[in-house]
Structure 1
Amino acid sequence: MEQAEIKVSPAKRSERRNRLARREALNGYAFFSPWLFGFLVFTAGPVLYSLYLSFTSYDTLSSPKWIGIMNYKVLLTQDATFWKSLYNTLYYVVFSVPLGLIIGVLLAMLMNQKVPGIRFFRTVFYLPSVVSGVAVALLWMWLLDPSFGLINTTLAKFGIQGPGWLTDVDWSKPSLILMSLWGVGGSMIIYLAGLQGIPRDLYEASRVDGAGAVRQFWRITLPLLTPTIFYNLIMGLLGGFQVFLQSFVMTNGGPVDSTLFYALYLYNKAFKSSQMGYASAMAWILLVLTLICTLIVLRTSKKWVYYEGAENK
Structure 2
Amino acid sequence: MTRPPRNGTAGGTAGGETGAGAGGKTGGGMTAAVRRLRPETRWAYVFLLPWLIGLLVFQLGPMAASLVLSFTRYDLIGAPEFAGLENYARMAEDPKVARAIGNTVVYTLLHVPLAVALALGLALLLNRVTGRAAGVFRTIFYLPSMTPHVAVGVLFLFLLNGQAGMVNEFLALFGIEGPQWTTDPDWVLPGIVLMSLWNLGSTTIILFAALRNVPRELSEAAMIDGAGPWQRFRAVTLPMISSALFFVVIINTITSLQMFDQVYTMFFGNQVAQQSHGDAALVYVVYLFQQAFQFLHMGYASALAWALFGVIALITLVQVKVGNRLVYYEAEEHAG
Using the size of structure 1 for normalisation, the TM-score is: 0.89
Question: Following the alignment from structure 1 to structure 2, what is the Cα–Cα distance between the partners of residues 202 and 160?
Answer: 45
Structure 1 residues 34 and 249 mapped into 2: Cα distance closer, same or farther (>3 Å)?
A: closer
Which residue, 215, 226, 245 being the options, matches 2:242?
A: 226
Which residue, 100, 103, 118 being the options, matches 2:118?
A: 103
Q: Match for residue 33 of structure 2?
A: 21
Residue type matched to 1:113 in 2? R
Question: Following the alignment from structure 1 to structure 2, what is the Cα–Cα distance between the partners of residues 58 and 290?
Answer: 25
Give 1:105 shift.
0.7
Query: Where do 1:41-60 residues align within 5 Å?
Result: 41-60=57-76
Query: Where do 1:189-228 residues align within 5 Å?
Result: 189-228=205-244
Structure 1 residues 158 and 38 mapped into 2: Cα distance closer, same or farther (>3 Å)?
A: closer
Q: Tell me the matched-pair count.
A: 301
Deviates more, 1:209-218 or 1:165-174: 209-218
Residue type matched to 2:301 in 1? A
Which residue, 295, 309, 334 being the options, matches 1:273?
A: 295
Give 1:155 shift.
2.4
Find out whether 1:134 has 2:146 as its counterpart. no
Residue type matched to 2:96 in 1? T
Give 1:177 shift.
0.5
Question: Following the alignment from structure 1 to structure 2, what is the Cα–Cα distance between the partners of residues 307 and 75?
Answer: 41
In structure 1, the gaps of 5 or more residues are 1-10
Q: Match for residue 3 of structure 2?
A: none
Deviates more, 1:107-116 or 1:263-272: 107-116
Structure 1 residues 156 and 22 mapped into 2: Cα distance closer, same or farther (>3 Å)?
A: closer
Partner-residue secondary structure (3-state), 1:183: coil
Give 1:115 shift.
4.9
Residue type matched to 1:179 in 2? M
In structure 2, the gaps of 5 or more residues are 1-17, 269-273
Q: Match for residue 6 of structure 1?
A: none
Partner-residue secondary structure (3-state), 1:182: coil
Q: Match for residue 314 of structure 2?
A: 292
Residue type matched to 1:280 in 2? S
Give 1:157 shift.
3.6
Partner-residue secondary structure (3-state), 2:164: coil
Question: Following the alignment from structure 1 to structure 2, what is the Cα–Cα distance between the partners of residues 55 and 309?
Answer: 46
Deviates more, 1:246-255 or 1:301-310: 246-255
Give 1:45 shift.
1.4
Q: Deviations over 1:185-222 (max 9, x none)?
A: 22111111000011111112112212121111011100
Deviates more, 1:242-251 or 1:262-271: 242-251
Which residue, 88, 108, 114 being the options, matches 2:103?
A: 88
Structure 1 residues 223 and 29 mapped into 2: Cα distance closer, same or farther (>3 Å)?
A: closer
Q: Match for residue 149 of structure 1?
A: 165
Question: Following the alignment from structure 1 to structure 2, what is the Cα–Cα distance between the partners of residues 181 and 29?
Answer: 39
Aligned-residue CA RMSD (Å): 2.6
Residue type matched to 1:83 in 2? A
Q: Match for residue 307 of structure 1?
A: 329
Q: Deviations over 1:166-200 (max 9, x none)?
A: 11000000011011111112211111100001111
Question: Following the alignment from structure 2 to structure 1, what is the Cα–Cα distance between the partners of residues 327 and 127?
Answer: 22
Residue type matched to 2:170 in 1? T
Deviates more, 1:251-260 or 1:132-141: 251-260
Residue type matched to 2:94 in 1? D
Using the size of structure 2 for normalisation, the TM-score is: 0.83
